[in-house]
Structure 1
Amino acid sequence: MESLVEDVGGWGRFQWFMVGTIKWGMMPIAWSMMQMAFAGLVPDWWCLPDSPLNSSHGNWSRDNNTYQVCKIPGSGGQSCDGHVVFDTSVRTVVNEWSLVCDLKYVKSMMTSLQMGGVLIGALMSGQVADTFGRRLTVYVTLLCHCTTSLVAAFSVTWQMFIVMRVLIGVTLGVYLVASFSYPIEFVSPKYRQVVAFLPGWSAGVSIFALTAWLAPNWSYVHIGSAVLGVPYLFTWFVIPESFRWLATKGRLDEAEAVLERVARINGRAKPRDVRKRLQQVAEEERRTGQGRRYTYLDVYRGWRMAVTTLVLNGVWFSLSFCYYGISFGVTGLSGNIYLNIFLMTLVEIPPNFSTIFLANRLGRRWTCLIFFTLCSVSSFGILVVNETVSAGSKGVATTVLAMVSKLAVGAAWLGVLTFTSELYPTVIRNLGYGASNTVSRVGGALAPVLLNMDTTEEVVRGYIVVGSLMAASGAACLLLRETKGQALQDSISVKVNTDEVEDEKKADWGSNGDVIGGDKAGPVWTVTGDKVKAEGLEVNGIVSVRL
């Protein structure tokens, strides 16, 4: 398959257009993911029982004894319910439904339930994309995202809003998984990191910060997210299905047509033996997979495969927990919240260049280790600053180190995105990617609750946790095999000697997708246990094994 990609153009006009289009679709997704950083903002508020609820906040200060108190001053403990006056310069869900005092818990619950929806979406995505195709999954998901975002903008109760945020979260989870593996299947190994590099996510969050600043109303921001995704839907008519997925499903005519189209757009001639090579992939999948539907169990099958997947699960959990903990904790930093969100996102873009360079020079593992280490050091640096720097400079120093941590964890995640997709064959690539993405959403859901950073003390404690998790993740990456420059596998295939079934620990991937032995062994995808019963087609003294 890799030779076919090179023949039709491993990185040409088609790939630029396709990857750019997918990254365009990522912008409203990123926007929605970060919505609660603004929508959950708590505006200044006062308990004013003797004043009309539409009173201006301008005559009151934070030093007033009515500022953010839940009991009416001098009332003997009477609740302030129904007497809360908010700063009206910003409109968030907090002042929309008075989510303070007894309802204070609702804000963090909204974010956690949204991330729970992302988890559900990520869990669904692998199975859906591998069953129904990458293209249909990506476009239907974005259509659903636009619809749910628009409905959320007109929520009439906070309960309705929570339901819509969960549904939005599901669409986010599905898109984040399916949209990454999709374009990677069209590019050559040298350019896979570019797919992760193009800053669709960063652009989306930056536009979100600008929009929230210009129109500080949670409803308008939701409408903007929906509108941003609508033009993307029309690219359905020009972006084709993955030819790799089509080939593994035996839909050879469609796969051949896609390759012919890619070659034409890239100014290449159609490969003469394209049908033959596609037939080989279909035959291999038919022989090894017997047309069965793969499940998440397949990415944990065999001890080495299980170790690889479990390591990735742990790394993804840590990345998500730390990334969203830092992102949603931006309100605890000094300075303007809109500027902080914008800068926190902007600092992620420059490291993207170094990620591409390092990943292609040093390899995926060492690139990830470098950025994990940088994040860990800068996070622990916040503790040092808190203990040693004067109060006047502490806020600025903490914000700078927080931004370094954010850029490092973002760069590490970019490296891990590509790394994860390269470790799985086409037939279970979305399942493998989806398994880790699903686990990461558990981290994302827990982050707003366990990594709450609304105060200075909570910020310091939070970054100690971030530093520890990033250090552990960097060490864990060294347990994974290097994939730099290696061909993507398309089917699950294992070959063993007929005289003696080798222990799976001695197996290795060959250039054609088969296991041939050696020290550079990758995960063995289908062996369960140390010994297996050989079944299948015998070729030159070895047999293909189907389990």
Structure 2
Amino acid sequence: MDKNHHPEEILERIGGCGRFQVFLSVMSHLMKLPTVLTMYLMVISIATPEWRCMDDNGPSHVTAAFNTSTFLHVNSTYANSSDIDYFGAANHSKPYSNIKACENRNGTRCNNIVYSDEMKTIVSEWSMSCTLPWVPSTIASIQMLAILFGNLACGQIADSFGRKMPLFSSQLLLIAANLIGYFSTSWLMFGVARAICGLGMGMFLTVQYSLSTEVSVSSWRPWIVAFPTWALMGCGLALVSYLMPDWRKLHLLTTIVTIPFLLLWWYFPESFRWHLSHDRTHVAKDIIQRIAKFNRKSVNDETILELLNTTALDEKSGDRKKYSLWNLFNTRRLAKITVLSMTNWLALGLLSYGIQYGIKALSGNFFFNLFLFNIISVPTTFIAIILSNKIGRRKTAVVTYIIATIGCFVVGIVQYIETDMRDSLTNGFALFASLGIGVAWGPVQLMSLELYPTVVRSIGYGFLNTFARIGAVIGPQLAYLDTRIP
């Protein structure tokens, strides 16, 4: 028996991809629901509903439409109520120049802003359009920064104390944070709630696949990691938020949805590979026996102990050494893997969240666009899963990055071309770019998990996640900057 395939040998003997692996994988994907809801809640919570100035109880002097391009066009070109219909429909027959957003025609600041009741967000709740336009994107960036810290902390915690404890701690944090968000009485309190949300999401995103992939054979890992649960859940949230467009109610709903997942604590075992790497062979044996029993496989203790004791794992059973970030760079091979992967993950974060927070600036219905940007990646993700096994993780990632690059390039070029199809081309190729980068997460995550040995896997995965979060911190700021410099 090849020593390097020892974990695979154990898994095959206890059922391969059996009932236990299916159960654990399905539950792990369902546990992603609170994180998906919490992440997209930020996009919805900071969206700007249509609004208009109602100073002196008179007609609208300035109107901001939901769409960024319409916002700029309407406010710089058209003037009074005969020029602008309620909430942003412009009459193009009466041009007027030098009308600034949030100012009346006489140059005074608008004091009475009325928002459309189409959706309730923090922008409309605390009237941020004119006085605090920088706050929503800043809170989004703070949340992403908190995810970064959650990634870093959880990587170390998961490799020191196991995968199970931080996984369920993340759920507790999300319950508390979304509840605080629901009861927020100011944008500062809301910002604190979102920072705690970020810590919880960062912890979950670091260990979400560790338990399920470490008890699954390699051929099934692409299905475990790349299955489009995120996209499908995002589509569901788009529908729910369309029917219930209230940021407070959505926070409460997320809290309620998260609570049942805490019950899985009694059904999820710790990773037997983690126990082996910490010289706990007897505990690993019990977990393996439990998995075998769940899979209806009969394997006696002597056989398991023989498998565990006669083969030297890459995990180095018996090595009590404490690992840290330094171990990601202490060999030439690991340093190369880490540095190149950092670039991959930075691109994932920047493109994903730049596009995600830019959805509100696209033409068309916000909720429909949110649905569309999620559903588009579902069928192609299955193709990416097959390609990951057929041509490898790396080549699949390259293809998806090429798709994203083409989409982004065309969107940029179209902004400099005067054409009636600008909005359609922007939406279409932004969707194309989103498709590419959305599918890229699967092969890149899987490749990162497989390249690191068990003893530093969570540290490495958490560290790389921080670079995705650096890109994610920049993304919302680019969306805000676009409202000032198109």
TM over 0.5: yes
Q: Is the 8 A contact 1:247 1:282 kept in 2?
A: no
Matches within 5 A, 1:321-336: 321-336=350-365
Aligned-partner residue type, residue 201 of structure 1: W
How many residue pairs were aligned?
449
Mapped to 1, the partners of 2:246 and 2:162 lie a distance apart of 37
Cα shift readout 1:260-304 (whole Å, capped 9, x = no counterpart): 121122222226421233345799867884x12211111111233
Mapped to 2, the partners of 1:101 and 1:373 lie a distance apart of 39
SS of residue in 2 equivalent to 1:273: helix
1:265 to 287, 291, 294: 294
Mapped to 2, the partners of 1:222 and 1:31 lie a distance apart of 9
1:243 to 244, 253, 272: 272
2:462 to 434, 444, 466: 434
Partner of 1:540: none
Distance 1:456-1:352 versus aligned 2 partners, 3 A rule:
farther
Matches within 5 A, 1:276-315: 276-279=306-309, 289=319, 291-315=320-344
Mapped to 2, the partners of 1:96 and 1:436 lie a distance apart of 36
Aligned-partner residue type, residue 71 of structure 1: E
Mapped to 2, the partners of 1:70 and 1:384 lie a distance apart of 30
Distance 1:284-1:118 versus aligned 2 partners, 3 A rule:
closer
SS of residue in 2 equivalent to 1:173: helix
> RMSD across aligned C-alpha pairs, in angstroms?
2.5
SS of residue in 1 equivalent to 2:208: helix
Distance 1:388-1:69 versus aligned 2 partners, 3 A rule:
closer
SS of residue in 2 equivalent to 1:46: strand
Distance 1:280-1:135 versus aligned 2 partners, 3 A rule:
farther
1:241 Cα shift?
Answer: 0.9
Mapped to 2, the partners of 1:26 and 1:379 lie a distance apart of 28
Bigger mean CA deviation after superposition, 184-193 or 395-404: 395-404
Matches within 5 A, 1:388-403: 390-391=419-420, 393-403=421-431
Mapped to 2, the partners of 1:364 and 1:205 lie a distance apart of 25
1:37 to 40, 43, 67: 43
Cα shift readout 1:113-149 (whole Å, capped 9, x = no counterpart): 1101111101111001111111111012112211211
SS of residue in 2 equivalent to 1:100: helix
Q: Is the 8 A contact 2:408 2:433 kept in 1?
A: yes
1:412 Cα shift?
Answer: 1.2
Partner of 1:169: 198
Distance 1:134-1:281 versus aligned 2 partners, 3 A rule:
farther
1:69 to 83, 101, 109: 101
| Residues 1:344 and 2:373 are matched in the alignment | yes
Partner of 2:135: 106
Aligned-partner residue type, residue 246 of structure 1: H
Partner of 2:66: none
Mapped to 2, the partners of 1:457 and 1:447 lie a distance apart of 15
Distance 1:61-1:403 versus aligned 2 partners, 3 A rule:
closer
| Residues 1:60 and 2:79 are matched in the alignment | no
Q: Is the 8 A contact 2:119 2:246 kept in 1?
A: yes
1:410 Cα shift?
Answer: 1.1
SS of residue in 2 equivalent to 1:349: helix
Matches within 5 A, 1:354-369: 354-369=383-398
Partner of 2:67: none
Q: Is the 8 A contact 1:247 1:281 kept in 2?
A: no
Aligned-partner residue type, residue 57 of structure 2: S
Mapped to 2, the partners of 1:423 and 1:284 lie a distance apart of 12
Q: Is the 8 A contact 1:151 1:164 kept in 2?
A: yes
Matches within 5 A, 1:81-92: 81=111, 83-92=112-121
Partner of 1:79: 109
Bigger mean CA deviation after superposition, 273-282 or 156-165: 273-282
Identity over aligned pairs, percent: 30
Partner of 1:230: 259
Partner of 2:173: 144
Distance 1:26-1:135 versus aligned 2 partners, 3 A rule:
same
1:188 to 217, 222, 228: 217
Bigger mean CA deviation after superposition, 297-306 or 310-319: 297-306
- The alignment's TM-score, normalised by the length of structure 1, stands at 0.77
1:457 Cα shift?
Answer: 8.0
Larger helix proportion, structure 1 or 2? 2
Distance 1:149-1:282 versus aligned 2 partners, 3 A rule:
farther
Mapped to 2, the partners of 1:61 and 1:375 lie a distance apart of 34
SS of residue in 2 equivalent to 1:314: helix
Distance 1:194-1:283 versus aligned 2 partners, 3 A rule:
closer
